């Protein structure tokens, strides 16, 4: 449907909905470019959120592959920041982004229709995408990984077994262990992708680091005025190589390990091709 026709249809339907339910929250269909520019100009008073989608294919270079989703998340957020300044009617409004579909989508369908097999390099990319969402949390209201089971899913099944795919392990890790209050970082991280947050009760600092390099890396850290107890846990996702994968009914090649951690000095050791999440107690 041409955007001009969609705008007319969107506006008339939203008017009808709000006649029945004035408190209804509306998510408009979005797509960066002419589509977003038009609907934000013509319909900003008839939406609460605007949706975007991201799907990326495979790249051979691990670092490039793992950065694709994060690049798009940053690009879309920055474009919407520009829209807020350039499009009449957006001043004073807070129309945030509902990224209601995002994932990698490529390769043969091993698990039925759209049943993509994911690998360690995809897990690295999902973690970097999370970091990009965290850094742009002023713009992103929601971010829904698509999808859950088999169909480009985080869980893969056979007739008799189920397993967390590599991308599912990342979601399990961040959902269970990463904080919810973003912490600003400064410094030079080289090829490492670093994100931090406090837990909701402010009793712990969580620090997540993605290493896409084939060699182990070391990250020097300075926690400033934060008083750490020195104790905590370290969770790590890694595997033998970037193409390592997990299959239902078989021993996993990509694993999530958690262990007690004591901060020793001012640096962190990071395995090759890994996601490391440190949860450190505050005094």
pLDDT tens digit string along 60-72? 999 999 999 999 9
CB-CB contact of 178 with 200 (8 Å): no
User: To the nearest whole number, what is the mean pLDDT of the chain?
Assistant: 96
Long-range CB pairs of 86-93 (<8 Å, 24+ gap) are 87/37, 87/40, 87/41, 87/44, 88/41, 89/40, 89/41, 89/44, 89/45, 90/40, 90/44, 93/44
Cα 226-227-233 angle, rounded to 5 deg: 100
Distance in angstroms (rounded) separating the CA atoms of residues 275 and 194? 10
Distance in angstroms (rounded) separating the CA atoms of residues 255 and 258? 10
CA 189 from centroid of its chain's CA atoms: 19
Q: Both tokens of residue 51?
A: 């949706």
* Cβ count near 11 (within 10 Å): 17
Nearest to 256 by CA among 171, 180, 133, 150: 171
User: Is 17 part of a structural domain of the chain?
Assistant: no
For the stretch 74-121, pLDDT in tens is 999 999 999 999 998 898 899 999 999 999 999 999 999 999 999 999
**Residues 6+ away with beta carbon under 8 Å from 259:** 233, 234
- Predicted local distance difference test score (pLDDT) of residue 91: 83
Average pLDDT of each block of 10 consecutive residues along the chain (283 residues)?
Answer: 97 98 97 98 97 98 98 98 94 94 97 96 98 97 97 97 98 97 94 97 97 97 90 96 98 98 88 98 94
- Predicted local distance difference test score (pLDDT) of residue 132: 98
- Predicted local distance difference test score (pLDDT) of residue 264: 78
- Predicted local distance difference test score (pLDDT) of residue 265: 74
- Predicted local distance difference test score (pLDDT) of residue 23: 95
- The whole domain housing 83 covers 48-282
CATH code of the domain covering residue 240: 2.60.40.1180
User: Is 21 part of a structural domain of the chain?
Assistant: no
Domain count of the chain? Answer: 1
Distance in angstroms (rounded) separating the CA atoms of residues 18 and 49? 15
CB-CB contact of 277 with 261 (8 Å): no
User: Which residues does residue 49 pair with via DSSP β-bridges, in sequence order?
Assistant: 27, 96
User: Is 19 part of a structural domain of the chain?
Assistant: no
User: Is 58 part of a structural domain of the chain?
Assistant: yes
Nearest to 275 by CA among 209, 213, 220, 219: 209
Distance in angstroms (rounded) separating the CA atoms of residues 243 and 220? 29
- Predicted local distance difference test score (pLDDT) of residue 89: 86
User: Is 23 part of a structural domain of the chain?
Assistant: no
User: Is 11 part of a structural domain of the chain?
Assistant: no
User: Is 253 part of a structural domain of the chain?
Assistant: yes
User: Is 30 part of a structural domain of the chain?
Assistant: no
Q: Both tokens of residue 164?
A: 């967390």
Helix axes 120-135, 166-177, angle to 10 degrees: 40
């Amino acid at each position: 449907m041409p955007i001009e026709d969609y705008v007319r249809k969107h506006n008339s339907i939203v008017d009808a909905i709000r006649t029945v339910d004035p408190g209804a929250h509306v998510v408009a269909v979005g797509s960066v470019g002419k589509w977003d520019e038009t609907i934000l100009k013509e319909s900003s008073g008839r939406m609460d959120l605007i949706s975007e989608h991201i799907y990326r294919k495979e790249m051979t270079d691990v670092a490039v592959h793992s950065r694709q989703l994060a690049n798009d998340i940053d690009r879309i957020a920055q474009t919407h920041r520009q829209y807020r300044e350039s499009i009449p009617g957006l001043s004073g409004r807070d129309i945030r982004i509902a990224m209601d579909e995002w994932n990698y989508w490529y390769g043969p369908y091993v698990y039925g229709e759209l049943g993509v097999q994911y690998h360690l390099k995809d897990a690295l990319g999902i973690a970097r995408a999370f970091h990009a969402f965290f850094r742009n949390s002023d713009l992103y209201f929601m971010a829904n990984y698509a999808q859950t089971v088999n169909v480009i899913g985080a869980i893969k099944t056979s007739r008799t077994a189920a397993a967390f795919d590599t991308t599912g392990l990342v979601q399990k890790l961040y959902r269970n262990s990463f904080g919810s209050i973003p912490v600003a970082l400064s410094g030079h991280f080289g090829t490492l992708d670093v994100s931090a947050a406090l837990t909701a009760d402010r009793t712990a600092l969580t620090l997540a680091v993605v290493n896409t390099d084939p060699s182990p890396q070391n990250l020097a850290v300075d926690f400033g005025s934060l008083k750490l107890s020195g104790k905590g846990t370290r969770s790590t996702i890694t595997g033998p190589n970037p193409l390592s994968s997990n299959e239902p009914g078989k021993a996993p090649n990509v694993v999530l390990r958690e262990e007690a951690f004591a901060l020793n000095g001012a640096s962190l050791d990071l395995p090759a091709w890994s996601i490391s999440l440190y949860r450190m107690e505050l005094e």
